[in-house]
Amino acid sequence: MNPALLGLVTIVIGVGGCLAYFYFSNILLDKVIFPGTGPNAGRNINRAEKVRPWLFLAPAILALGLYLAYPVFATIWLSLTDRSQGNAFVGLANYRQMGLDPKFWEALRNNMLWLIVVPAASTAFGLLAAQLTDRIRWGSFAKSIIFMPMAISFVGAAVIFKLVYDARPEGTNQIGILNAIWLQFDGAIWSVVILRILPVVILLAIATLCAFLVWVFARPVLRPDQSRPGLINSIVRISAAVVTAVLVLACLLGALNAVTGTYPYGVPQQWLTIPVWNSFFLMIVLIWIQTGFAMVILSAALRGIPEETIEAAIIDGANPLQIFFSIKMPQISSTIVVVWTTITIVVLKVFDIVYAMTNGQWQTQVLANYMYDKLFRANDWGVGSAAAMVIMLLVTPILVWNVYNARKEMR
C-alpha cells in the first residue's frame, strides 16, 4: 500500500478506533454490565463510576506500560544477559566489559563535561537574554530569533554549525566563519586582548562565582549550632560543594592555560578534530538550541516577580546588580532549577548532534552515541543495554526529584 494512504488509513483507524473504544466501552458499561435501571440501579451506578476512570485510562496505561515502563525492566534484563550465548544470564559481565572499554570512560567523561557546561551556559544565556529583552521595545522580536533554534532539528543544527566550523586549506578563502575570524588574529595587541586577557577575565569571573557557590552550599553544613540541615540534605550540599570546588580549580587551570598556551596563528583549524576543544564546539550547538527555551521560561518567571519587592529595593538604594542578584534571583530560583534539570535531561540523551557531526571520533564520544554504536554497529546488546542503564542511572535523581515535587504540589 502507498505509505501516504497507509498513513491516512492509520489516522482514521487510530482516531476512529479511539473514539469508538471510548464511546462503546462507556455504553457497554452503562447499559449492559451495570445497567442504571432495574432493582440494583443505585448500586450499579456507583459500580460503573468506579470502573469508568479505568476505561478512560486503559489505552494510555497500556501504551505507557508497553513503550516506557516495560523497556526499563527489559533493558535491565538484557544488560545482565549475553545474546551470543543464547541470552544466558551472565551477571555483571557486560558491565565489567564496558568498564574495561576506554571508549566508555571517554563517553562518560565527555557526558559529565556536557552536563556541567550546557545547562549552565544555556541557563546563563537564557537569563541574560530574558533580562535584556524584557527592557526594550523590540524585545519580542529578539526573543523570537533567539527562540527559533528550538524548531530546528539537531541534524539541521549540525549542518548549520558544520558550515560555521568548516576549514579550507591554508591560502584559500575560508568559507567557515570561525576560521575566517581566526585568521584575523596574528599575535598583535588585539589578539592578546581577545584571546588571552578576555578568556582569563571570564574564567576568573566564573571561578569567583563558583567559589561563592561553594560557600553557599557548605555554610549551613559547617554551622556548629543546632540549625544544621539533615543528613541527606548535608550529603547533597557537600557533594554540590565538591563539584563546584572542582569547577573553581578547572577554571583557574583554564585561565593559566589561556595565559601560557601557544596559539597557531594564521593557520586554518579543523575545529572538530582538536580533542577536548571539539567537545566544546559540539556543546555550542546544543547551547545555541536550548538558550531560547531557558529564556522563554525565565522571562515568564521574571515577569511574575511582584513589582513591590523591586520598588522597595530601589527605595532602599539598591543598584541594578544588587536588585538582580539579591531580589530577583532568589525569587526565580525554583524556575532556574526546573530549567536546569530539563536541559540536563536533554543533554543526557544527546545523540543526533554527535552522530551527525563527528560520530564520536576525535574523542567526542558521548553515552547515547556509544550506546547506539554498541547496539546497532557492534550488535552487542549486552554492553549497549548496560550503557543505556548508565544513562538511566544518571537520570534517576532528577526523576525522583520531579516525582517528589509533583506529589508535594498535589497535596
Partner 1 sequence: MDDGMAGGKSSLTWVVNISVVLLVALWLFPTAGLFISSFRTADQISSSGWWASMFPQEQNQTLRTARPGEDNIAEVNGVYQIDGNLFVAEGQAADIDAVQATISAWGTGSLNIDEYAPGDTADLGDGEQITVQANGDYVWTSPEPQSGRGQRVFTTAKTPPEFTLDNYRNVLFNPNNREGMAKAFFNTLTVTIPATIIPILIAAFAAYALAWMDFPGRALLIAAVVGLLVVPLQLALIPLLRLHNEIGIGKGYLGVWLAHTGFGLPLAIYLLRNYMVGLPRDIIENARVDGATDFQIFVKIILPLSYPALASFAIFQFLWTWNDLLVALVFLIDSSGDTTVMTKQIVELLGTRGGNWEILATSAFVSIAVPLLVFFSLQRFLVRGLLAGSVK
Contacting partner 1 within 13-52 (CB under 8 A): 14-15, 18-19, 22-23, 26, 30, 50, 52
Which positions from 274 through 313 interact with partner 1, judged by CB under 8 A? 288, 291-293, 296-297, 300-301, 310
Stretch that binds partner 1, among 107-115, 185-193, 231-239, 401-409 (CB under 8 A): 401-409
In the complex with partner 1, the residue whose CB is nearer, 238 or 345, is 345
The residue among 305, 344, 297 whose CA lies nearest residue 328 is 305
**Which DSSP string corresponds to 233-263?**
HHHHHHHHHHHHHHHHHHHHHHHHHHHH---
d(CA 295, CA 300): 8
DSSP 85: G
Report the alpha-carbon distance of residue 28 to residue 20 in Å, rounded: 12
CB of 205 to partner 1, least distance (A): 16
Cβ count near 113 (within 10 Å) = 17
Task: Specify the DSSP element, H or E, that contains 81.
Answer: strand 81-82
Q: Of 20 and 192, which has the nearer Cβ to partner 1?
A: 20
- Retrieve residue 321's grid coordinates: 546588580
CB of 215 to partner 1, least distance (A): 26
Q: What's the CA gap between 182 and 287, in Å, rounded?
A: 21
153 and 145 in contact (C-beta within 8 Å)? Answer: no
| Beta carbon of residue 113, minimum distance to partner 1 (angstroms, whole number) | 19
| Contact of 392 with 75, CB cutoff 8 Å | yes
Of residues 256 and 403, the one with the C-beta less far from partner 1: 403
Residues from 103 through 162 that contact partner 1 (CB under 8 A): 128-129, 132-136, 138-139, 142, 144-156, 158-162
Q: Which of residues 170-189 bind partner 1 (CB under 8 A)?
A: 173-177, 180
Question: Rounded CA gap, 87 and 222, in Å?
Answer: 51
Query: In this complex, which beta carbon is closest to partner 1, that of residue 189 or of residue 408?
Result: 408
Nearer to partner 1, 79 or 244 (CB): 79
**Could you give the string, one character per residue 49-78, with x where binding to partner 1 holds by CB under 8 A and - elsewhere?**
-x-xxx-xx-xxx-xx-xxxxxxx-xx--x
Report the alpha-carbon distance of residue 405 to residue 258 in Å, rounded.
42
When binding is defined by CB under 8 A, the residue of 356, 366, 383, 386 that contacts partner 1 is 356
The stretch near partner 1 (CB under 8 A) out of 88-96, 234-242, 273-281, 395-403 is 395-403
> Exposure of 319 by Cβ count < 10 A (0-12 exposed, 13-18 middle, 19+ buried)?
exposed
Which one, 72 or 256, has the nearer CB to partner 1? 72
The residue from 127, 339, 347, 354 that contacts partner 1 (CB under 8 A) is 339
